[in-house]
Amino acid sequence: MNQGLRFDYSHTCAFLDQHDWDRVAPEVLDAHIRLHQGTGPGSDSRGWLDLPVQDKKSERKQIKEAAEKIRSTSDVLVVIGIGGSYLGAKAALDMLGHHFTNLLSADKRGGPEIYFVGNNVSSVYIAQLLELLAGKDVSLNVISKSGATLEPAIAFRVFRDWMEKKYGSEGARSRIYVTTDRKQGVLRRLAEREGYESFAIPDDVGGRYSIFTPVGLLPIAVGGSNIDEILSGAADGKVRFETPKLVDNPCYQYAAARHLLHQKGKLIEVLVSYEPRFRFFAEWWKQLFAESEGKRGKGIFPVAAEYSTDLHSIGQYLQDGKRHLFETVLTVRKSEVDVTISVDPHNLDGLQYLDGKGMDEIRARVVEGALLAHTDGGVPNLVVEIPRLTAYHFGELVYFFEKACAISGYLLGVNPFDQPGVDAYKMNMFALLGRPGFEKLKAELEARIRGNHKILPDCKRNI
């Protein structure tokens, strides 16, 4: 087992005492038992727990062969999906790849450019992406368990039509890859009718826990990352984070610490990173925790900040604002490349005190300085550190947060695997767009909208 992730809660000592940890330990043990024995809510959605160690050689072989085909025949891979259907893959590609992958020459990149669509309702975004694809060979990976989610469904119709016009039906068929439900749904029926190569999303794995399925692994493999190493890191994480003893399990310590801080009035968690390559990992993390915990009037509100940029903007609020938040700092011990500050004998910029220092050392001092300042300012800080940005440690990090989220949900008293609130806006959206079967709701909503327009003048008079 490689040297792994490190969790440091020493910057909460002024906020949490031994009594707090003693009190939460039995609750954590109970959450562990309910998760592993399947006695907690959402027990039919725990397939992600064993994904890293399941024997899926044939599926992994199919993923690698499809990825190699896409890499050898395509200038671009377009990935269609929303939420968990794209955030995990995007996070991995950003963390493990070159900052400017899509701008590199094909020789340096070694594979296709990769773009994501179907995660918004912007006509400008779609039109400009289609403009970018002109004259390029393209493959398409559409990801949706049901196939009926509006944003990716619209994008797939647009891009499938574009592919068929460019390559013809037969040519497009060989360039379209479908990741969907194993047996049912719009996309499953379409894949079988058209003969698209397809990959199955397990029934017992929800979207935000699906990175280690073909949902994440196919785009990641196309991007050139080693999916075997990712799964190896996750498998070692599974072993390490399986002990029920709070004192020995950093994953459970994180879940417990955030739960205790929440009980003490900390309503917001800010995930902080000092590396721009973590930007979409933070987006994945936000969905994981918001969708898992935010229900029944409960939950910690997850937001993200990118330091040191945000230290020069929201840093003021974090230092001196309302004390209803805590930070979780995500950092890397050592970069794969370091930049050394050159020596300037004239010291015209006043940076002589940095002569010969590497950016890694400077970043470490910035991290330490912010940790001390914010803690002194009344903001508890948790630190999650990985040794290096590698495929192995990406897998371990993902598993760490997935399991911590499940435990956190049970500590909070909610089902961490459903998302009932997401359906509310969808019902209204379908009704207002005229989807069959929603006629009554459409009439009710349109009446409410007309009513709001009528009372607007009265509202203005109250200003």
Chain-centre distance for alpha carbon 388: 19
Give the residue among 330, 329, 326, 331 at the shortest CA–CA distance from 259: 326
Q: Which of 136, 264, 334, 426 is catalytic?
A: 426
CA end-to-end distance (rounded Å), the chain: 63
- What dihedral angle (degrees, nearest 10) is formed by the CA atoms of 408, 410, 412, 415? 110
Q: Which long-range contacts (CB under 8 A, 24 or more apart) does 29-34 make?
A: 29/244, 29/246, 30/410, 31/255, 31/407, 31/410, 31/411, 32/244, 32/252, 32/407, 33/244, 34/410
426 is catalytic: yes
- d(Cα 455, Cα 457) in Å, to the nearest integer? 6
322 tagged catalytic = no
The answer to whether residues 307 and 366 touch, using CB atoms and an 8 Å cutoff, is yes
Say how many CA atoms lie within 13 Å of 198 toward its Cβ.
23
| CA 459 to mean position of chain CA atoms | 40
Neighbours of 287 (CB within 10 A): 19
Q: Is 41 exposed, middle or buried (0-12, 13-18, 19+ CB in 10 A)?
A: middle
Which residue is listed with tokens 């899926």? 56
Q: What is the DSSP string of 132-151?
A: HTTTS-EEEEEE-SSS--HH
Q: How many CB atoms lie within 10 A of CB 117?
A: 25
Distance CA 251, CA 278 (A): 19
Q: Which two tokens stand for residue 295?
A: 């229900």
**Of 113, 269, 283, 291, which is the active-site residue?**
291
Catalytic residues: 291, 426
